[in-house]
Structure 1
Amino acid sequence: MNLQSKLNAAQKSFESWKKVPFSNRQKLLLKLADKLEKNSESLGKIITKEMNKPISQSIAEIKKCALMCSYYANAENILKPEKIKTEYRISEIHYVPKGVILGVMPWNFPFWQVLRFAVPAILAGNAVVLKHASICFGSGNRIEKLFLEAGFPKGIFQNLEIGHEEVTKVLENPIVRGVSLTGSEKAGAEVAATAGRNIKKSLLELGGSDAFIVLDDANFKKAAESGAKARLQNCGQACNAGKRFIIQKNIEKEFLPIFIKEYQKYIPGKPLKKDTLIAGMARPDLADELEMQYKKALKNGAEVILPLKRISPNEFMPGLIKVKSGNPILEEELFGPLGMVMIAKNDEEALKLANDIPFGLSNSVWTKDKKRQQFFIENLESGTVSVNKESSSDPRLPFGGAKSSGYGTELSLIALKEFVTVKTVVGN
C-alpha cells in the first residue's frame, strides 16, 4: 500500500471510529494492555535488538506501556459534552476529535514514546499514523499488529516506513490534522514550522538537561543511588534524565565519593543478560557525537572526575565531569553516559544554575526541609519538579516541558484534550 492509500485508510477508519462510544474504545484498550503484559518478554527483545537497551529495562518499558493502557482504559470520560449555566436553553462545550494525527517518534523508548502519544489520541477518537526512527521499524510494525490483535479497526494505527524527508509531505497532506513529535530541538522546530504554515496543531516533547540538586540536608545514600540511575538508565539516552548534578558546596567532599561509588556500579554488559545495568548506545554515530561533546567540555575548562572511556564503537565506561557556568556544553543536551557536576554555595545559587540553560523539562531536588522544597517547586523553570526522587513519567500525571523543551501535554487526562477541537453549542 502506498503512502496516500495508507492516509486514505486512516481517514476512512477515523470517520467510523469517532462515532464509537468512549467506553467501547476503552474496552479495546484493556485488551491491548493485556497483550502487552502477556508478551512483555518477546516485545522487550525487539527493543533490545533494535537499540541495545538492557533486556530488564526493555521488559520494564513494555510493562509500563501496559500500565498506561490500563490507566486510560479505566479513565473518566472528560470528553463528554459539558453543560454551562447561561440564559440560553442550550449551552454546551463539545470535544470533537481532529482526525488523522501524525506521530514522529524517537528510538530511545521505542514502545513507550509511541504508545504514550497514540493511546490518548486514539481514545479521544482520532486515528494515528506513525513515523518511527529508522532503526525501530520492527517496533513500529509490531505496535501496529498489537492494535489489530486487540481488536482496533484496521487503519486506526498505522506504521509508515518513511524517512525524515517524507515527514513534510505527510504533514502537508490535507488528511493529516496534527502532529506530535518527540525528538531534538532542531527536528521539533522544523516540524512545528511545517505544521504552522499548514495551520495544524503541533505538540513537541524535546530535549532536556535536567538538574539534579542535592542540598546539605538530603539523604546522601538515596540521592547518590537515585542520581546514578537518573543519569545512566537507558545508557543515559533519556530526555528527562538527570544530567547536571548541582551539589551544595559544604557537602561536596562528603557526597561526591558516595555518588561516584554508585556511578561506578554501571559497567557495560551484554544487553540480553537480565542483570546488565548498562549496555552500549543505540548507534556508533551517537557515541561519536557524545565523545566530541566530552572533548568540547574539557577544552572549555571542565575537569575530569571519571573519564568517559570508549571501549567499543558504541560502548563507554560512564564519565563524570565538573563544569562551571559559562561552559558552552551547558547549551547542549548530553545524550549518553556522561554526567556533569556543578557546585553551588546555597539554594539561590543552585536555583540560578538549574534555570540558566535553554531547556526546562524535568528537575529533581533533594532536601528534607519543606520550606526549601517549596522554594524550588515555585521557582524551577520546568514542566516537572521531582522532590527526593529522580524524574520519571507516570501515566496519571501530565508530562511536558517549558522553554526549549517543547509545549503541549502527554499523559494524564489532560492529554485527552490535546487533539480535539473545542466546539461551543449555544441557542434557544
Structure 2
Amino acid sequence: MSLYAVVDPATGETVQEYPTATDQQIEEALASASKAFKEWSKTTTVADRAALIRKVGQLHAERAEELAKIIEREMGKPFDDAKGEVEFSAAIYEYYADNAEKFLADEPIDLLDGEGSAVIKRTPVGVLLGIMPWNYPYYQVARFAGPNLTLGNTIVLKHAPQCPESAAAMQKIFDDAGYPKGAYVNVYATNEQIADAIADPRVQGVSLTGSERAGAAVAEIAGRNLKKVVLELGGSDPFIVLSTDNLDETVEAAFSGRFENTGQACNAAKRFIVAADIYDDFLAKFTERVLGAAGSLAPLSSVAAAERLEQQVQKAVDSGAKLVSAGERKGAHFPPGVLTGVTPESPSYKEELFGPVATVYKVADEDEAVELANDTPFGLGSYVFTADQEQALRVADKIEAGMVFVNVVGADGVELPFGGVKRSGFGRELGRFGIDEFVNKKLIRVG
C-alpha cells in the first residue's frame, strides 16, 4: 500500500491511495517555493496578501460540507465536529486578513542617545516547511499557513500520511484563491525527503505539530543547519478541581475537556486532580458520565492508534491501577474509561494517553494539586476549577504550562496564542504572536 492513503477508521476500508512524491517532485516543490518568495513576496503588499488569505477563508466556508466529509473518511471525525473545524479554520484566515496590517506595521523605537530615528520593520524570511498531524487536518494548517502567507513567507506543506485527500483539497483552495505557483505547495513526502528538505538552504524555518519523537528528530536536523523551528508536541494537561458551586456543571466540563475529538487532542484534559473533600462525589458522577458515552463516540483515527492506547492502559493496570471501562476495543473503536490508582511508578504516569481514557487523582490540598499537576514532562495546557477566584489566579500562576484555562473548557480562540513549554515544544501559533515567529524584525537606524 502507498504511504499516503485514506483508510476509513470506522470500517477499515482503504478508500483511495495517493502516490508518494519522487525526489524530483520534492526538488520542484522547493524550487517553486523559492521562486515564489523571490518574486511574489517581493512584489505584493500586506494588503494584497491579506486579500488572498481572506479568499482562502471564504472558500473554506463555502466548501465546509465537502471538506468535513473528507476528514470524516480520513480520521473518523463526526461530521458536525468536522464542519466545526472547517469553520474555525475559516475564522483563522479571516482574523489574519483583518489584522495583518496592524500586526506587521513598522514599530518606531525611542532613541536613548543620538539624533535621527530607529524603526523595526517586520518582513518575511523565505520558504517555510510545515509538517502537520492528522487530528485536526484543516485547523493545524490554518494556524501555520494563515499568518505566514499573509506575512509573505512561502510554504511547502507535508501533511500526515492518512490525510492526503484533505491535503489535496487545501491545495486546490489556495490555488483557487489566486495564489501563484509555489506560494503554497503540498507534497506527499517521505520522512527521508523531509529530512533533506529541512537541511536544504532554501528552507528558512520549520513548523511541526506532532509527537515528541518527531519534534526531536526535526529539531536535531534544523539545529545542525541553523534553522528556526516552532514545535507543538504532546501534552498531559492537568484538570484541577479544588471546589465547585455546581458539581454537575464541573463534571460536564471535565467530560468535554477530555472527550472532544474522542480524546485525540494535544491540549485535552487528561489528568483530573481533585481535592479530597469532593473526590468521591466527583469520581462517581464523572465515571457515570464517561461510561454513558459508550456507543456514541467516534472511532479513533486508526486501528494502530487504538492498539497503542490499549497497550498503555494495560501497562497501567498491570502496575496496579484500576480501570473502569465501558467494554472492549473493537478495531479502531475504543471504549471510554476511567483510570484511578496510577502511581509515579506506573509507565502511564508520565505518558500522554491519546484517546477516550481519563486518569483521576485525589489530592489533599492546593499545594499537592499544583505539585502533581507540574510533575510531568509536558507543559502544554491546563485547567483550574474552583469557586475561589483568588485561589484560581494563584494556582494559575504556579502551573508550568503554556496555557491555563480557569473555570472554562473549549475556550480556544483565533486571537489567543497556542503553545507550550517543557517537552510540549516551543513557539506560539495564533493571535498576534503567531505571525511573529517566522519574521525578520529588521532594525533600520537613521542618523
What does residue range 206-355 of structure 1 map to in structure 2 within 5 Å?
206-269=233-296, 278-304=297-323, 306-307=324-325, 309-326=327-344, 327-355=346-374
More divergent stretch after superposition (248-257 vs 85-94): 85-94
Q: Is it true that 1:83 corresponds to 2:83 in the alignment?
A: no
Give the Å deviation of 1:98: 0.9
Determine the C-alpha separation between the residues in 1 that align with 2:305 and 2:189.
21
**Aligned partner of residue 223 in structure 1, secondary structure:** helix
Instruction: Measure, in 1, the Cα distance between the counterparts of 2:142 and 2:341.
Output: 36
For residues 196 and 104 of structure 1, the distance between their equivalents in structure 2, rounded to whole angstroms, comes to 16
Change (3 A) 1:325 1:376: farther
Q: Spell out the pairing of 1:12-27 with structure 2 (5 A cutoff).
A: 12-19=35-42, 20-27=44-51
Aligned to 2:193: 166
Distance 2:426 2:129 in 1: 16
Q: How far 1:391 moved relative to its partner?
A: 5.1
Distance in structure 2 (CA, Å) of the matches to 1:228 and 1:61 = 19
Asked if 1 retains the 8 angstrom alpha-carbon contact of 2:243 and 2:387, the reply is no
| Residues in 2 aligned to 1:188 and 1:88: alpha-carbon distance in whole angstroms | 46
C-alpha displacement at 1:287, in angstroms? 0.9
Counterpart Cα distance in 1 of 2:377 and 2:326: 25
**Aligned: 1:95 with 2:134:** no
Kindly state the Cα deviation for residue 302 of structure 1 after the two structures are TM-superposed: 0.9
For the aligned residue pairs, the C-alpha RMSD in angstroms reads: 1.4
Contact 1:26-1:123 at 8 Å conserved across structures: yes
Partner of 1:120: 147
Alpha carbons 1:230, 1:241 under 8 Å: kept: yes
CA distance in 2, matches of 1:279, 1:231: 14
CA distance in 2, matches of 1:17, 1:340: 50
Contact 2:283–2:360 under 8 Å retained in 1: no
Match of 1:135 in 2: 162
| Cα distance in 2 between the residues matched to 1:235 and 1:204 | 23
Q: 2:352 aligns to what SS in structure 1?
A: coil
Distance 1:115 1:423 in 2: 26
Distance 1:169 1:218, change over 3 A: farther
Q: Give the aligned partner of residue 43 of structure 1.
A: 67
- 1:10 alignment partner in structure 2: 33
Segment of structure 1 superposing worse, 71-80 or 103-112: 71-80
Q: CA deviation at 1:256?
A: 1.8
Deviations 1:97-150 (A, max 9, x none): 110100011000011111111111111110011111100011111111111111
Which residue in the other structure is 1:66 paired with?
A: 90
Question: Does the 8 Å CA contact 2:211/2:234 hold for their aligned counterparts?
Answer: yes
Which structure 1 residue ranges, 5 or more long, are not aligned? 270-277
Residues of 2 paired with 1:123 and 1:77: CA distance? 12
Query: 1:218 Cα deviation (Å)?
Result: 4.7
With normalisation by structure 2, the TM-score equals 0.91
Structure 2 contact 41–152 (Cα < 8 Å) conserved? yes
* 1:240/1:391 contact within 8 Å kept: no
User: How far apart are the structure 2 equivalents of 1:380 and 1:149?
Assistant: 44
Tell me, in whole angstroms, the C-alpha distance in 2 between the residues paired with 1:193 and 1:133. 20
Cα displacement (A) at 1:217: 2.8
Aligned length: 419
Deviation at 1:285, TM superposition (A): 1.1
Letter of the structure 1 residue corresponding to residue 25 of structure 2: N
The yes-or-no answer on 1:151 pairing with 2:170 is no
Q: Output one character per residue of 1:319-354: Cα deviation in whole Å (capped at 9) or x when no partner.
A: 111034413312111111111001111111111110
Alignment-derived partner of residue 53 in structure 1: 77
Task: Check conservation: 2:337, 2:357, Cα contact below 8 A.
Answer: yes
The one-letter code matched in structure 1 to 2:421 is A
Where in structure 2 are there 5+ consecutive unaligned residues?
1-23
Q: CA deviation at 1:58?
A: 0.5
Q: Shift of the alpha carbon at 1:230?
A: 1.4
For 2:313 and 2:347, locate their aligned partners in 1 and report how far apart those are by CA, in whole Å.
11
**TM-aligned CA deviation for residue 368 of structure 1:** 1.8
Structure 1 residues 162 and 310 mapped into 2: Cα distance closer, same or farther (>3 Å)?
A: farther
| Letter matched to residue 77 of structure 1 | K
- Structure 1 stretch displaced more, 286-295 or 391-400: 391-400
Which residue identity does 1:12 align to in structure 2? K
**Distance between the aligned counterparts of 1:350 and 1:134, measured in 2?**
39
**What's the CA shift string for 1:393-427, capped at 9, x where partnerless?**
31101110011100000000111110012221113
SS of residue matched to 1:290 = helix
1:407 aligns with 426
2:243 and 2:388 in contact (8 A); partners too: no
- Alpha-carbon distance in 2 for matches of 1:218, 1:246: 17
What is the distance in 2 between the residues matched to 1:163 and 1:259? 42
Preserved contact between residue 48 and residue 58 of structure 1 (Cα < 8 Å): yes
CA distance in 2, matches of 1:218, 1:175: 57
Larger deviation, residues 107-116 vs 222-231: 222-231
Contact 1:364 1:391 in 2 (8 A): no
Match of 2:19 in 1: none
Percentage of matched positions with identical amino acids: 39
| 1:386 Cα deviation after fit | 0.4
User: How many Å separate the matches in 2 of 1:79 and 1:340?
Assistant: 43
Match of 1:187 among 214, 223, 230: 214
AA aligned opposite 1:122: L
